[in-house]
Amino acid sequence: MQQPRLRIGTRGSALALAQAHEVRRRLMAAHGMTEAEIEIVVIRTTGDRIQDRPLSEAGGKGLFTKEIEEGLLDRSIDLAVHSMKDMPTVLPEGLAITAMLPREDVRDAFISSKWPSIEALPQGAVVGSSSLRRQAQLRRFRADLKVVMYRGNVETRLRKLGEGAVDATLLAVAGLKRLGLADRITATIADDFMLPAVAQGAIGIECRFDDEDTAALLDPLNDVSTSLCVTAERAFLGRLEGSCRTPIAGLGTLDDGVFTFRGEILTPDGSESHATSRSGAPAAAVQLATEAAEELLAKAGPGFFGAHG
């Protein structure tokens, strides 16, 4: 039996597997490899096991990556496929994001079997979301809504919605598209109405820093524009020391040779928010995003994150 040439580590959710299979297809197309040469290794993470409380209370983003990164470091896998939205801003020593696939739609989707939009929801309607950012943005727009914590993978959340647990929910358009569930979207929310999470819609591939052979195989998969924008967004998040406990939104875009960054921070109840934007040369993307973070820190004052986190 043929030994695999590459082993891809991934979480076991339908979305994570769809993303891992997309990476395998792209590797096969780029290098003429066969499916048997690329093994997909499912790794259960702490984040997958915790279903009874918000992840922000259990330790935040690294809960979805820790065990997979341990697999990279102990060489039981060669590369890992992640939703970049789940990635902590600081990676373990010896690991690097080597490539990012072309980014999917960055926007959020409104889903309801009863109502056509957020604006149409009746007073006191129940909206389920596991994202503190989406919760805060919803509360800012519609303080009358009852926004509740809503855990589970995409399929679980859609099932619970169908059973009437909530009147509506919000999910990433990218994930629904990758799962072939775009037809479930009731309305797509404009990114100037609800600024997305940092790195939303982006798939990153992580490998060992010293693994030049794997890095060379991944090089044709890297989308330069996505990588530039997401790297800047992550610099913004890192400067804010953002975690799952702080509602933070950030989006970089590249259009006709101009990089534009928009960033926003909110209190969890949506009662206070600060936003800013910057534009300039693509080479200055990280600097522009970092400056945006500095401005928001100055606007919010020293108590903003501590008091509300």
As annotated, the active-site residues are 86
Q: Which two tokens stand for residue 248?
A: 């933070």
Helix, strand, or coil (residue 188) = strand
- At 269, which amino acid appears? D
- At 306, which amino acid appears? G
How many other CB atoms are there within 10 angstroms of residue 155's CB atom? Answer: 13
* Radius of gyration in angstroms for the set of CA atoms belonging to the chain, rounded to a whole number: 19
Residue keyed to tokens 């990279």: 72
C-alpha to C-alpha distance for 297 and 168, rounded to whole angstroms: 33
Positive/negative CA dihedral, 157, 162, 168, 170: positive
Instruction: Report in angstroms the alpha-carbon separations of 177 from 104, 158, 248.
Output: 8, 14, 24
Beta bridge partners of 41: 9
Q: Which two tokens stand for residue 277?
A: 């934007």
User: Going edge to edge, which strands form the sheet with 203-208?
Assistant: 38-42, 6-10, 79-83, 203-208, 95-100
Residue keyed to tokens 């629904």: 176
Burial group, residue 46, by CB count within 10 angstroms (0-12, 13-18, 19+): middle
Q: CA dihedral in degrees (109, 132, 99, 240; nearest 10)?
A: 140
